[in-house]
Amino acid sequence: MNAFIIALIRTVVPAGVGLLFGWLASIGIGLDAETQSGLVAGLSLTITGLYYAGVTWLASKYPAFGWLLGVAATPKYSTGKHVAN
């Protein structure tokens, strides 16, 4: 699989997890819509960062857990020069 696609998947999956859990955490809290939106955004950002850091650390110890980022493989980038067309 292309390194760009792997990197994209490994970015989108933690963001989706953070958004889902941020939204779930805000359910049932009696706030106005604007405050609740801010709460969901803050929780989503925090959960996304913690999820990504936790899974990356776990995958460094136990590579099989890399699938929790959507793809177990880490992207491999070439070190050569890229020539624009």
Residue 9, domain extent: 3-69
Is residue 76 in some structural domain? no
Is residue 19 in some structural domain? yes
Q: What does the pLDDT read at residue 82?
A: 62
What CA–CA distance (Å, rounded) separates 26 from 50?
17
Angle between helices 3-26 and 33-61 (to 10 degrees): 130
Report which of residues 25 and 9 the model is more confident about: 9
Q: What does the pLDDT read at residue 83?
A: 58
Q: How many domains does the chain have?
A: 1
Is residue 30 in some structural domain? yes
Q: What does the pLDDT read at residue 48?
A: 94
pLDDT digits 0-9 by tens, 51-72? 999 999 999 999 989 999 999 8
